[in-house]
Structure formats: structure tokens, C-alpha cells
A and B are shown apart, each in its own frame.
Chain A
Amino acid sequence: MNEELGIILETTSKILNKHVDHKLRQNIDNNNSDLINLWSEIEQLGLPKIAVKDKFNGSGLPLSTTLPIIKLSNNIGAPIPLSETILSNYILSESDINPPSGIITYAIDVKNLKILGNEISGELISVPYLNLTDKIVFITEIEKTKKVILIKNSGENKELKKNFLSEPRYNLKLNKCKILDMKTINLRVNFKHLGAIVRSAQMIGSMEKILDLCIDYCSQRKQFGRALSKFQAIQHQISEMAVELSASSAALSTITNSYDFYKNKKDIAILKIRAGAAAGKVIAISHQVHGAIGFTQEYELAYFTRNINSWRNDFGNESYWEDLLGKDFLENNNQNLWEYLT
């Protein structure tokens, strides 16, 4: 498994490094042939269906195995919905729906959904990359049963959401949209939990890149006759970023190394809290040490900081998970804190 993953990581890295540059990130459109070429190579490698069951022509790897790949993709800063497609396909496959080919995305939230026969109306909130696909997965409760729904959106009913993300995100009004497939969700699949894990892996990959950008920039940029990196005030700020990042990576490795991570709400909460808190510090420090150049579109820092700023709010921010984790302990009357921790 590890060897197989190593090969996949190496190949992915080659493909992404070949195609991704900062220019590509600034033109995320489905008529951009560079982007289309990149995706088709990703598809040839089988990444979209890497966590999909064999019977649906997937690679059948556990979702935890895909986290290093997702992390890598966001370390390189590939402007493609890889994590969205992997997660959407996983959810479909686990719920016994054969995932369609190509890019597929999900709605993070839904509002006022009504189903009539084979048609659905209502609102889908925060749908990433809807400019590149029309296939959307979402989850909703119908008569006290959680359902996975797959639709193909046809109309011009989408509205580009203004957000602090580098990647496009949409809100969508559905009016009697045809349902392609709908099944009861596999109980192992908790969308919010999985989303929190994937977003954390994406944040960590991006933060590693941000740290590298800071080190490179501060080593080259000279002021007062010496490189910024030679100022202790700068060194200590960058060290603090590294500390935050290492704590987040430690929280991620607990999940990556566990095949039944989906059972463990505690570890997921810890990961999302830790990565989200780190993101806040990393954004502030990285912009501080970069000065004005970091605040421009032409330099790549902001691409990464804008993304992590958004992802830390997806699938529950730190407060949400802190409250959940605190209650998980406090409402359990049988254990004292040390027993709970160990």
C-alpha cells in the first residue's frame, strides 16, 4: 500500500508541476485548454476514483490514503476540484451509486429543499467549482433518513458567490431539477466529518507552501543592508508558523494512519481545530513578513492565504468543533478529563 501510494504521489507531483503555474490559477475556466489538459491527465491516473469501490471501476483505496494526495495538490496550488471530486465520488460509491465520470462537485449546505417525484427544488449553498462541472452531490434528510442526491444542473440559475476564496464558489437555485440518482446514505459517511478532514489536509498542504514562500522571500529580500531572514524578529515569526504547522501535521497524521478514522469524532475535531487555528496565524504572519508584494494578485502568496481563509470556515470552524469536543467530554459523566484524554 505504501509503495503504491508513493508511486501515485510521485506521478501526481510530476503532472501537477508540469501544468500548474500562477497564470493557470488566474484563469480557471472550462474553455482554458491548459486546465482541461491537466484534468485529463489527472483522470488518466485514476485519481478522481481513487477511493471508489472496485465494482464502480475505482481503485478502492481507503479515503485516509488519499489525504497525502490532496495535500500535495494544494501544496502545489493546483486550481482544480480534485478534493471535491474525490470526496463526491467516495460518498456516491459508499452509498452504492455509480459515480459519473469527469469533474463532480458538492454543495456544502442546502436550504428549503423540496422533492416532488423525480424532481427537486430549493437552494444549494456554497458549491465549489461549478464553472467546471454541472454534476453536484449533496446530502439532505428526507423523512428522517439521510439521503445522497446526485443531480445534473442545466440552467443558468447559478450565482457566483463573492467570497475570500481564490477558487470559484457558487450558490444555486434549483427549480424542478431532475434527480439523476438518490439513495440512503451509508452510515459510515458523515459528510461534515469527511469534509472537515479533507479541508484540513488542503490547509496543511497550502500552509507548507506558504512557509516555503516566506523562507524564500525573506532570504532574498534585503532591507537595511541585510536579508530579512537575518532579523531575529522575522526569524521568530517564521518559527512560530513552523510550530503551528507541525502541530497541525501531527493532528493530520493521526487520521491518515487510521483506517477507521470516520468513527472518531474526537480526532476529526482536533484536526479541524488545530489546522484552523494554525491557518489564522499563518495568514497573519506570512502577509506580515512579505509586506506589500504579498498583498498583490501577481505574487502567489495570496492565492494560498485566500484559500485557507475560506477552508477554515467550511464544515464547521474552530468554534463549532471546540464546542462539540468540549460537550463530548463534559456531557459524559463517567470519565474524568485524564481518562477521557487517554
Chain B
Amino acid sequence: MSKFNFPSIKETNDLSNLRKEVRNFITKSLNDKDFEPSADAWVFSASPEFSKKLGSMGWLGMSFPKKYGGNERTALERYVVTEELLASGAPVAAHWIADRQSGSQILRYGNEEQKKSIIPKITAGECFFAIGMSEPDSGSDLASVKTKATKIENGWKLEGRKIWSTGAHIANYMIVLVRTSPASENNRHEGLSQFLVDLSLPNVSVKGIPDMTGQRHFNETLFDNVILSEDALLGVEGKGWSQVVGELALERSGPERFLSHFTLLESFVNEFKNILIKSGSKLIGKLIAELQTLRRMSFSIASMLQNGESPETQAAFVKELGNKFEKTMVETLREFSNIIPLYEWPSQLQNLFEDATLRIPSNSLRGGTTEIMKGIIARQLGLR
């Protein structure tokens, strides 16, 4: 079990001060009515203006090198900023994917030109990304992707479609996982590559898919023989699988896996504190214990990332536990409506609760399902 340790990392005074700084900024934004707190804001609530403001505060691309317009701050500092933004339900969806994973992928695998042209824009909150992994026939079985890139003179030809591309309709780029050569007989992970695709290129079309809540964030992205320049290849041809696995550690380990609906919990306890003291302290205590444990695990992973480790398995732990926590939380609140009927809740709280109830099934699907997380853990335990 020693490989699944989550060493305890203390929050230093500098980090606490940064926390306060972000908190003050959010309070001011709320006073100025820059945004309305919402549930699942990192998926559903995009505001390019707000993203730009965060960029000007130096809170995007925080750990990126100064050379490319970054801030050269630590992964722990980034953790603190993202936590504060998530806890307040701020509209962070526009830049979320670029800041969380795409920027790091480009810094790790991109060429100088790509770094110089794209990274400063991500850091400024002016360049957004979508994820190009799932396809109509490839969900959990990511290695089965059929979208392919064929070598042509001076470049590549891209053909296929990606689905569930959250935010592709406002994104500038997508990092697309494709097949560049057939899988070998005993290793399906070979022959995959990642491409950095400008979504404004000819023959790229993005079509919205309303989700079950009726809102649009999902898309289907069609690549109909898109001509890519040679340098659109991100990283090494044929090494797409190992690259994408690293990207997934960034995708799965963050506080959005357990703070997506924190605004709901916060409003709930503010509203019903007096009643909860009498009859709900145990329920709240249980949620606090789980949430605090998750925060420590995720913070610990941020420190592993800072040290250059690849905590893919630890990320699966956080995602699995975080998804479970969020579901339990919504259930706990639902049961409370036995004491105070839902229609007596303030309307803003009712809205948050209903949004959370509707959206909660997606938390254990996006970024890898529960079954995939458990499979990753089982492999590390030597069971498969």
C-alpha cells in the first residue's frame, strides 16, 4: 500500500495570504455583480470576461514559465486559487481545460512556436481549449478511437469525429487523440498520437448537443479531412497513449472532483444553521470529515505534481472518492427536506439543489467513469 500514500502537506502563510487575496477579489466581483454563483460552474458557467480578469490577476497558467507569459508559481499556489474559485461557484468554465491540462501538455510536448504563440494567451485568459478524447464509439475504451491522421506532404490530414467536447463551441483549440498507425497485435496503445488542432480551420464543424438539463456545453466536433500543418503533431508520433495518461492525472486529481457543488452546501448550512444545530450536526460533521480528507488528498497530489511525479493512480483515488462524496452530499440535503420542505427553501437554494440533483449523475462519468477508476486501482494492486 505504500505507493498510495498521500503525504500531509501544510498550507504555508504565503498560501493562506494568496487565499485571502483571491477571496477578496471574489467578494468584490460578487458585489459588482460580475457573476452569480452556480453549481458545477467549471463545466456549465463560462464567462470569457471573467476568465480575462483572472488572467490579469495572474491566476491563470500560474505554474507556467515566465518566458511564455506564465507566472512561475507553484502547483500548490494554483491549487489554492482553483479551490477558492470553485468554492464560490465562479464562472470558470471558459478557461478551465486550458488552464488545467492543455497548457501543461503544450509546455511538455509542444514546439517552441506553439509555446510562444499559445501559452501567453492561455495565461491571459484569452485562449480556450476543449478535450478531444471521446468518440461516438469510444467512451471508456479510449484506445479504440477511430479518428485518424494521415501523413500528407507538408502536414497531416485529420478525419473523424469527437464527442462530448465540453465547451468546444467557445474553444479556440482542441488536443485531439487520434490513430496515426494501426494498433499492434499485442499492444492497442501503440500507434496513437496527439494533435493540437485550431478549431477555426476549414472543415472543422462544432455542433451542440443539449444535455439532460437542457443546457449546452456538450458538442460533437467533426473533422472532415482537415488539413493540418506538420507541427500540429503534439509530442511524439505513436506516443499519444502515454501522453494522454499524464494529461488525465491533471484532469482527475483536482478539487473540482469534490467542490463542484460546494456552493449548494454552503448556502444550505447558512440558511438552516439553527435547525441543523438541533438535528443535523452529525450529518454536517460527516460531510466536513469527508470533504476535509479529500482536500488533503488533492492538495497532496498538487505537491506530487510540483515535484514532477506522475500521480495517475492517486488521481483515480481522489476522483472516485470525490464523486462519491458529492452524491452523498446531495442525498443528505434531499433527506433534510423531510424537516423543512423544499418549497420552503429560498428560491436561490432551491435552484442550486435542483441543478445539483440533475447534474450529479455526470460527475462519475466525465473524466473517466467509476468503473475505469476502480480498474486503474485494481491494476495497481496487481489484480489485473
Contact = CB atoms under 8 A, between A and B. Distances in A.
Interface of A: 208, 211-212, 215, 218-219, 229-230, 232, 234-236, 238-240, 242-243, 245-247, 249-251, 253-254, 256-258, 266, 269-270, 273-274, 318-319, 321-331, 336-338, 340-342
B4 interface: yes
B340 interface: no
B289 interface: yes
Interface in B1-26: 1, 4-8, 10-11, 16, 19
Nearest to A216: B382
A49 to B, nearest CB: 27
Interface string B290-324: 11111111001000000000000010010011000
A336 B83 CA distance: 15
Contacts of A330: 269, 273, 276-277, 280-281, 284
B286 A322 contact: yes
Contacts of A250: 6, 8, 293, 296-297, 300
Contact of A257 (B8, B266, B317): B8
A239 B378 contact: yes
B214 interface: no
A238 B383 contact: yes
B358 interface: no
Interface residues of B, number: 52
Contacts of A328: 285
B266 A336 contact: yes
A213 to B, nearest CB: 12
Interface string B117-157: 00000000000000000000000000000000000000000
B interface majority secondary structure: helix
Contact of B281 (A218, A273, A323, A342): A323
B383 A229 contact: yes
A interface majority secondary structure: helix
Given A326-B276, A327-B281, A211 B266 contact: no
A83 to B, nearest CB: 20
A249 B7 CA distance: 9
Nearest to B4: A246
B296 A229 contact: no
Most buried by B among A212, A215, A239: A239
A249 B289 contact: no
Given A236-B371, A250-B296, A324 B378 contact: no
B281 A239 contact: no
A247 B273 CA distance: 28
Contacts of B317: 242-243, 246-247
Contact of A326 (B266, B284, B377, B382): B284
A273 B286 contact: yes
B8 A253 contact: yes
Most buried by A among B11, B16, B265, B290: B290
Nearest to B371: A236
B207 interface: no
B296 to A, nearest CB: 5
B381 interface: yes
Contacts of A245: 1, 4
Contacts of B173: none
B8 A341 contact: no
Given A236-B374, A246-B4, A337-B265, A319 B282 contact: yes
Nearest to B265: A337
Interface string B269-280: 110010011001
